[in-house]
Structure 1
Amino acid sequence: MNFDITEDQLRTQQVARDFAAHVLAPRATDVDQNARIEAESIGQLGDAGWLGMTIPEAFGGSGGDFVALALAIEEFAAACANSAGFVAANVALACRPLLAYGSDTQKRELLTPLARGKTTLAFAPADPDNLGAGVVHAERQHDGSFVLRGETSPVTLFGQPDHVLVFARTADERVTAFVVPYGAANLHVTVLPGHLGKRAARLGVLRFDGVQLPASAAVGQQGDGLSIARSALDDARIAAAAEALGIARAAYEKAALHVKQESPKTPAPGLLGVQVMLADMCVEVEAARLLTLRAARQADAGTTSGSERSMAKLFASEMSTRVAHKAMQILGARNVATTPSLERHFRDARMAELSDDPPEVQRAIIAAAMLKA
């Protein structure tokens, strides 16, 4: 496969690197400590076109392809994993489902504002580990409207979204997607306590106690829910792999810089051991990048399979934790304490590995594809 990066993609990468350095990195510590991405930052991401990547300009997007998206998210994650995660979720789990399945009205009133950072939407499958199970039920009324009842699994909210994309079972046992206003009557949200890393991606459980929705709230046709959810999660895996890659790269670069600065003071035997660790870290980062770019390239060509995206996400997310852990070992306790961003990288890497779409799911997808071949 040809992994050459085009001039347009390289330009996107450089612009993303500059944006990350000047806009995201200075706020990364505050975002982590306050567990919140401020509206100003979301607006800047939207104004710069990052929230509408891969979305046509006709719908408020900035165009581009999955390779450019992966390159940009890697740069963002190296500076601020929380912001990178928000961009990834907005593109893959909010904009792209509406682009593929949304009505003309939904594209005009929701997709375009999402791509421009003027509104937000959370993705809430009823059960991320078994999308067909569903614990939210939608009862169709005589006038064509729906009433939702039930409770979701923990949902990534990124603060307080304006809308939620919910997947619910209808009477015929099929799954249908609905756009629900976050402030809808009879929708109750329990925000869960803060977690280890990626703290701005706050989790919450949504309870629907008879939430009434018009027929126009349905996304796609009745029964399209599983296809919508699976397609969105497939796209999100490329973005998630790039995010984990960026976290790992940042940790590796900090460790390498520390070794360069300290090597004159380190005895040769001790330096050799550290060099071996750095070499392993470098190889893992590069391997993850190749897997991620392969999945992105094939997504752009329309030839990728779900297993290739799962391979990228699985390897990159687990690699990120390993690399961040080795970086902390290289710096040692004293230097980690004076390099708080490295400690943040480790926490963010661990959460990127475990949250939403965990390694066990990726292994199941990969194994199923292997046995089917």
Structure 2
Amino acid sequence: MDFTLSAEQAQIRDMVTEFVDEEVVPRAREIDHDDEFPADLVDEMADLGLMGMPFPEEYGGAGLDYHSYAIGLEQISRGSGGLGTVVAAHISLAGNMVYEFGDERQKEKYLTPLAAGDDIGAFALSEAGAGSDVPAMETTAERTTATSRSDGDETTAEREGDEYVINGGKLWISNGSVADTVTLFAKTDPDAGNKGISSFIVRPEEDDGFIVEGTEEKLGDKGCPTAELRFDDMRIPADRRLGEEGEGFVHALKTLNGGRITIAARGVGIARAALDEALEYGQQREQFDQPIAEFQSIKHKLADMDTKLQAAKMLMHRAADKKIRGENFVKEAAQAKLYASEISREVANEGIQIHGGYGYTKDFPAERFYRDAKLNEIYEGTSEVLRNTIGDQLLD
């Protein structure tokens, strides 16, 4: 197995690293404090091709493989966990839904501006009573008859079933208040369980009845707005449905599976930031006439932090490799996301411990890394759900 980065992968790593060091890291504390969507940084990432990394160039993307995408997202998350979520939700969830399940017209019309970074994407699946239990969702999409009147014609022409009327609400939607395109899941057959769920493309600025109820005040992940959405008799054209009716549940599972690789990348990036900060502090802070990093207890902490980080990176790239090869990667993606999520919190926790009292203050970024890391264990599949997924794959 060759672990050497290709020339293109190394180039992507170096380019994103430079951008993050020069533009994101100096702003990270501000983003965390103000909790405002950093539109200017997103525009800069769009100019660099980072908002469409894995999508084909024909649709405005950069045409990168999933290793390069994971490397890029790792570096972005190293600078800001919230910015990492902005990109992951935009590409892995919203954009990937259109790319994988949209027809050619939908890809050209909706994926191209997403991949170019001209539009921002969001993925609306979770509800107050439907998190891990997706079929418990209550949002409905009823196909109905629309009417139109031709210019100069007094008669009304009816077109059977060319609209959906959507009612309900969604919760915990990353990018939900700033998105131009939202991939939305709703029940088209409420009595059919997971086979009654369909997926749609929604355009908030165009679709009357799309309401942003507000955004959450969160522990971490600042800079990425997490919105509560409501749909009141929101009418959308039937040609905005992705695939056939009843395929939405499968769309969601496949999309989340691929997204878990990028949440692993977010975890790796945060763990890297926490380790780098702990290393620097440990070599500068002196106690008993020597840097604290020279004490065996601190040295062992640093060794364990790096070992966990390297193992998480290997799991992340293993899952990416299987995806690129077109092989089943459900177990590998779940393992990568599970392990990277948990070690990012563990590494960040040890980073605080190494900083001592300073680590518990906002004078140092160690506490921010911990707050950002915790989210990895919750969204896009909780650690508990992922363990079930891995177990099911082992027993299958």
Q: TM-score, normalised by structure 1?
A: 0.94
Shift of 1:186: 2.3
Match of 2:265 among 219, 225, 242: 242
5 Å-filtered alignment, 1:1-373, equals 1-126=1-126, 127-142=130-145, 143-144=160-161, 145-157=163-175, 159-171=177-189, 173=192, 174-183=196-205, 184-262=207-285, 265-266=289-290, 271-334=295-358, 337=361, 339-372=363-396
Deviations 1:152-190 (A, max 9, x none): 243223642123211111137321111122243223322
Q: Report the secondary structure of 1:132's partner residue.
A: helix
Cα distance change, pair 20–225 in 1 and its aligned pair in 2 (3 A):
same
Deviations 1:36-57 (A, max 9, x none): 2232222111111011111000
Shift of 1:33: 1.6
For residues 251 and 267 of structure 1, the distance between their equivalents in structure 2, rounded to whole angstroms, comes to 18
Deviations 1:323-354 (A, max 9, x none): 10101101111365374322211110112222
For residues 6 and 283 of structure 1, the distance between their equivalents in structure 2, rounded to whole angstroms, comes to 24
Shift of 1:139: 0.8
For residues 216 and 395 of structure 2, the distance between their equivalents in structure 1, rounded to whole angstroms, comes to 40
Shift of 1:100: 1.5
Cα distance change, pair 258–269 in 1 and its aligned pair in 2 (3 A):
closer
For residues 149 and 267 of structure 1, the distance between their equivalents in structure 2, rounded to whole angstroms, comes to 61
Paired position in structure 1 for 2:149: none
Shift of 1:60: 0.2
Contact conserved, 1:149 with 1:209, CA < 8 A, in 2? yes
Q: Report the secondary structure of 2:135's partner residue.
A: coil
Query: What is the letter of the counterpart of residue 359 of structure 1?
Result: S
- Specify every segment of 5 or more residues in structure 1 that has no aligned partner in the other structure, as ranges: none
CA-based RMSD of the aligned residues comes to 2.0
Contact conserved, 1:90 with 1:121, CA < 8 A, in 2? yes
Structure with greater strand percent: 2
For residues 268 and 359 of structure 1, the distance between their equivalents in structure 2, rounded to whole angstroms, comes to 34
Shift of 1:357: 2.4
What count of residue pairs does the alignment treat as equivalent? 372
Q: Report the secondary structure of 2:285's partner residue.
A: helix
For residues 294 and 10 of structure 1, the distance between their equivalents in structure 2, rounded to whole angstroms, comes to 18
For residues 269 and 317 of structure 1, the distance between their equivalents in structure 2, rounded to whole angstroms, comes to 26
Query: What is the letter of the counterpart of residue 57 of structure 1?
Result: E
Deviations 1:285-336 (A, max 9, x none): 1111111111111111112421110100000011001110101101111365
For residues 77 and 193 of structure 1, the distance between their equivalents in structure 2, rounded to whole angstroms, comes to 20
Deviations 1:80-128 (A, max 9, x none): 1111221112111121211111123321221111111111121011434
Cα distance change, pair 328–161 in 1 and its aligned pair in 2 (3 A):
same
Cα distance change, pair 279–263 in 1 and its aligned pair in 2 (3 A):
farther
Q: Report the secondary structure of 1:340's partner residue.
A: coil
For residues 128 and 282 of structure 1, the distance between their equivalents in structure 2, rounded to whole angstroms, comes to 33
Cα distance change, pair 335–96 in 1 and its aligned pair in 2 (3 A):
closer
Cα distance change, pair 147–269 in 1 and its aligned pair in 2 (3 A):
closer
Cα distance change, pair 58–256 in 1 and its aligned pair in 2 (3 A):
same
Shift of 1:281: 0.8
Deviations 1:2-25 (A, max 9, x none): 433212111111111111111222
Cα distance change, pair 267–30 in 1 and its aligned pair in 2 (3 A):
closer
Shift of 1:73: 1.1
For residues 217 and 275 of structure 1, the distance between their equivalents in structure 2, rounded to whole angstroms, comes to 56
- Specify every segment of 5 or more residues in structure 2 that has no aligned partner in the other structure, as ranges: 146-159
Q: Report the secondary structure of 1:141's partner residue.
A: strand
Contact conserved, 1:36 with 1:159, CA < 8 A, in 2? no
Contact conserved, 2:177 with 2:212, CA < 8 A, in 1? no
Cα distance change, pair 272–148 in 1 and its aligned pair in 2 (3 A):
same
Give aligned-pair identity as a percent.
31
Q: TM-score, normalised by structure 2?
A: 0.89
Contact conserved, 1:251 with 1:345, CA < 8 A, in 2? yes
Cα distance change, pair 262–115 in 1 and its aligned pair in 2 (3 A):
same
Cα distance change, pair 48–254 in 1 and its aligned pair in 2 (3 A):
same
For residues 224 and 60 of structure 2, the distance between their equivalents in structure 1, rounded to whole angstroms, comes to 24
Structure with greater helix percent: 1
* Bigger-Rg structure (1/2): 2
Contact conserved, 2:166 with 2:233, CA < 8 A, in 1? yes
Shift of 1:58: 0.3
